[in-house]
Every structure is written in C-alpha cells, then in structure tokens.
Chains A and B, each alone.
Chain A
Amino acid sequence: MQVTLKIFRYNPETDKKPHYETYKVEAEPTDRVLDLLEKVKGEQDGTLTFRRSCAHGVCGSDAMRINGMNRLACKVLVKDLGTDHITIEPLLGLPTVKDLVVDMEPFFEHYRSVKPFFINNDPPPQKERLQSPEERARFDDTTKCILCAACTTSCPSFWLDGQYVGPAAIVNAHRFIFDSRDQGAEERLKILADQFGVFRCHTIFNCTLACPREIQITKAIGEVRKAIATGRLD
C-alpha cells in the first residue's frame, strides 16, 4: 500500500517558520511508523531529523504526535491508524529543536525536582532490604515509566503552564513514595503539594491514554493527591 506522510519540518538554520512536507512511501500494514520515517530519511530526504534508539518501545526516544495523539513511533503499526494518511508532529509543550526533535531539558528538570531516587538513611543491611510481594505490588505500575514524555506533553495543564511538574514526574515520585523501603515520602509529598504540583491535575486523562506503557497515570496522581490530603500512605 502507498502511505502519505505529512511531516512537521523546521530547520533553525534556514527556516523562519515551521512548515509541513508531504512524502509518499510504499508500506506494509504491519510496518511501524518509525519504519516509514526511516524510509523517508534513507530514500527521500536525509535532512529529516527525529530521535530513535532501541526501536522496541523501551528507550522512549521516539515519542511524537502521530495523527494528533502522542505515541511511540516504534510501537504504532500503519494498520493500527486505520488510514493511509499519517500526520507526524513533534510533542506539544516543549521547545522544538529541529523537525520532530524537542528539547527534553524542561521535562527532565521537573523529573529531577521530585527526587526520583531511593532515599534511606538507615545503615544498609548485610543482604538486601526485604519487601513482601504485596509491598512491591503497591508501586509496580509506576516502575514501568520509560520517561518518553508522551504523558506530560499530552497534558493541557502542562500546555498552559510549563511550571507544572507534569504527570511523568508525579509517576516517578509515586514509584518511591509508596515503596516501603524508602524514607523520602514526606519530602516528596511536600514538593508535590506546591502550587505547581499534583493539584494542577484536572483529571483530564490525556496522560493515561497517551502512555505507551499503559501506566494508570491519573490513578497514580490521585493516590499521591490523596496521600497529601490525608497524610497517610495506605
């Protein structure tokens, strides 16, 4: 089948404004959108710029807007889109560096702000820090985040105000807040109770729908919000 790709283009060295370019490529219904981008770059226009790395939905490099919704280009098949016209644009809410590449620094700044690392000041035990299967299951969902930014850049609250910490940072805070071995919950909850923290979430669900790892992000945000409101981690 022939697929028409309409791709957002912006070269900071030559363009004053962004524009769209259209490419026609031969594709199988089982091809991924990333395969089509590789075909365009390899066969038609070597200047097309996009991020990719593992190409198997693990590294989170190739998150972009595909037919109006944030997805990983390496996880979306042509047949899943149900059309032979595909529009590809960079993520919203982050500065566009070139074509489909956005500056991820503001995203990672929010990520770092919630202290996404293990905090425990007790002396380390001789073996591992023990945890029951139930305690591990409490935060299992939020361990799956690959930091692709699909959730944060699908959030209207983040579009309106880039100071909002965003769903991905809250998910990664949740992963440690509800970890029975961690001792930094109070510190993180204080950070997230800030005016640009969890209460900026308006339960819109764009993040949950955009997550390529199917993390229940709105639920995680709700649990963090409840922990702040009640002061309990149950």
Chain B
Amino acid sequence: MTLPRRVPLGAALRYRGGGPMWAWILHRISGLGMILFIAGHVLAGFGIQQLGGDWAIWYNTIYESLYFQLFIYFCVIFHAVNGARIIILDTWPALIKFQREFIWLEWAIVLPVYALTAWIMIQRSLGG
C-alpha cells in the first residue's frame, strides 16, 4: 500500500525554502497575532467595563503588558511591510527577478522601524 500524501507539519517546516518561505510563515503567524490583538482589545474592554472581577483584571494585565504589546507591534509592522512586498510583486510580475532584494529591503524597513519603536516603548515602560 502506498503511503498517503499527508504532509506533516514537522516535515513542512524542515523544508529548506529559505527567506521567502519564512516570510510567508511569519505572515501567517503575524496575521493570527493581530486577530488575537483585536479579540483581546474587545474582550479586555468588555471585561473591565461590563463584568469586572478578577479574571477581567488578570486578562487586562496580560493585554496591556509590555511583552504582549511588543509582540503585537511586531505582528503589525511585519504584516504590513510583507503584505506590501507581496502586493508589489503580484501586481508587477516583471519585478519578481528582484525578489531577493525585496526580502532584504523588507527587513531593512521592518527591523529599524520596529527597533526604534520598541526602544521608545521599553523606555516609557521603565520610566513609569
């Protein structure tokens, strides 16, 4: 009997597709992160204003924590810039020959913008 065509997650992640494949995976993770953020935003407000209680305060503590905010900010900035890269390449296929340069450009935008903002967020958090 032949083995079925099922592709296990581990085997898929071990495939050495390189930068563009990891950008695609991060795009999915950051998309889920933003869903988490929006759900968290609604739940945190609803919990505090309508329900009160310990669980709402606990949930709000996580939602407003620096770590969560740093994670969400990375999701937003990466998803936006990577999405722009994909839109540009899909709209102008002739530019696809520069796809490696586009990946470098993407990180050249994401990393400094994220680092600068994260630095400000951390400074303000430490400063109270």
Contact = CB atoms under 8 A, between A and B. Distances in A.
A156 B21 contact: yes
B24 A159 contact: no
A231 interface: no
Contacts of A97: 2
Contact of B21 (A67, A160, A204, A218): A204
Interface string A82-119: 00000000001111110000010010000000000000
Interface residues on A, range: 20 to 34
Interface in B1-54: 1-5, 7, 11-12, 14-18, 20-21, 24
B61 interface: no
B93 interface: yes
A226 interface: yes
A209 B89 CA distance: 16
B15 A219 contact: no
Interface residues of B, number: 25
Contacts of A29: none
Given A203-B90, A205-B99, A216-B96, A162 B21 contact: no
A18 B96 CA distance: 39
B97 interface: yes
B89 A206 contact: no
Contacts of B20: 203-206, 209
Contact of A68 (B1, B2, B14, B91): B14
Interface in A100-159: 103, 106, 154, 156, 159
B7 A93 contact: yes
B84 interface: no
13 contacts: A12-B2, A92-B15, A93-B7, A94-B5, A97-B2, A103-B2, A156-B24, A160-B7, A205-B21, A206-B15, A206-B21, A216-B97, A225-B93
Interface of B: 1-5, 7, 11-12, 14-18, 20-21, 24, 86, 89-91, 93-94, 96-97, 99
